[in-house]
Copies of this chain bind each other. A is one copy, B any other.
Amino acid sequence: MQKQATINDVARIAGVSKRTVSRVINGSLSVGDTTRTRVEKVISELKYSPNTQARGLASSRSYLLGLIYDNPDALYLDDVQRGVLEVCSNLGYELVVHPCRYRSETLVQDCLRFMQRSKLDGVIVLPPVSESETLAQALKESGSAYVRLSSVALDEAKHIVVSDDRAAAAEMARYFAQLGHEHIAFISGPQRYKSSTERMEGFQLGLSAYGIKLQPDWIIEGNNTYETGIECARQLLQAEEKPTAIFANNDQMAAGVLKVAHSLGIKVPEQLSVAGFDDNMLASRVIPALTTIKRPVRQMALLATSKLIMSIENNDKAASNVAAKVAPTLVVRESTARVAGSND
């Protein structure tokens, strides 16, 4: 293991003090041009790169960001992580991932400890953990930089990136209505999450514009997994009176609906329209391919990371206060069709 060059080596060879080298590294303005180029030359010759631990110790910066989440869908997490990493690597940060338990009593403590232990410069918090106001409060009080991803605007513009799931769900409602569907069921996510209630309310609101009302027994709560999608679909499709369209809170559950419909010999989309939410990889793989709402996950991740780094480097001074709101969009594929017998 060849020994790593230190700032002292650079200083000695360049014939300056290490303080000056430090200035060059950090892009300080007050370094003469000739000195700067000389130092830079030595730095690249020695392939010197500063020791982040020492740097962190002296300046309380680590160039480490954290990603906090609780058991998200693999595909969602992957999208987010890719986006975050892209920005990180461009801007010289590394990413530490940290799963945690949203419903644990020690959530706040756990997250703060994580930040402190690893001396993170900031964290990005994913849903549903992002919905915890106590955590957000604790982060704010501890003076940490953070950004939340959410489908509801539950924080100052500086700390949040929101997607308008409510409007997107309303758009799906309109689409269903225009296909002539009136007997519509909704498989919701856990009602304790705002992201779930937002989508449900948006959907209901959208339908009501067409005079359609979701029957209470056609609103079933799943937990966003494929398995509960199957359970919920069974309840709906084995009943006497069946809906002609089902909107599921995400693609996983919609895939479950497809499976059940297939096993019951119900043809999609001829006899039943099915739609999901997310537009992850699964949506295009299943047969028939799912009509769904595309969430711009990657874009949210990019935005969030940029905001976060901006707020870190500006030492939290305004600037990044631009609202970050993204709009999910309807993607029509094969799993939805005009209701049988209708010709609107």
Q: How distant is the Cα of A94 from the Cα of B94 in the complex, in angstroms? A: 12
Distance of A13 from chain B, by nearest CB (Å): 20
Min CB–CB distance A333 → chain B (angstroms):
12
Chain A positions 194 through 220: 1 when the CB is less than 8 Å from some CB of chain B, otherwise 0:
000000000000000000000000000
**Total number of A residues with any Cβ neighbor in B under 8 Å:** 49
Count this chain's copies in the assembly: 2
Contact call B255/A285, Cβ cutoff below 8 A: yes
What is the 8 Å Cβ interface bit string for chain A, positions 262-287, against chain B (1 contact, 0 not)? 10000000000000000001101111
Residues of B within 8 A of A258 (CB): 287
Q: Does A91 contact B (CB under 8 A)?
A: no
For residue A99, CB closer than 8 A to chain B, the reply is yes
Cα of A286 to Cα of B289 in the assembled complex, Å: 10
Residues of B within 8 A of A226 (CB): 281, 284-285
CB distance B285 to A262 under 8 Å?
Answer: no
Task: Say yes or no: is A322 at the interface (Cβ < 8 Å to chain B).
Answer: no
Residue of B nearest to A259 (CB): B287
Encode A92-116 as 1/0 by CB contact (under 8 A) with B. Answer: 0011111100000000000001101
Beyond contacts A1-B144, A53-B54, A96-B96: 7 other A-B pairs, Cβ-Cβ < 8 A, are A49-B116, A54-B57, A74-B75, A74-B78, A252-B285, A282-B285, A286-B287
A binding-site residues for B, Cβ under 8 Å: 1-2, 4, 49, 51-54, 56-57, 62, 64, 74-75, 77-79, 81-82, 85, 89, 94-99, 113-114, 116-119, 141-144, 226, 252, 255, 258-259, 262, 281-282, 284-287
The 7 closest A-B pairs by CB, nearest first: A74-B78, A1-B143, A53-B56, A53-B57, A53-B53, A255-B285, A1-B142
A-B contact pairs, 9 of them (CB 8 A): A1-B142, A49-B113, A53-B53, A74-B78, A89-B99, A94-B96, A94-B114, A226-B285, A259-B285
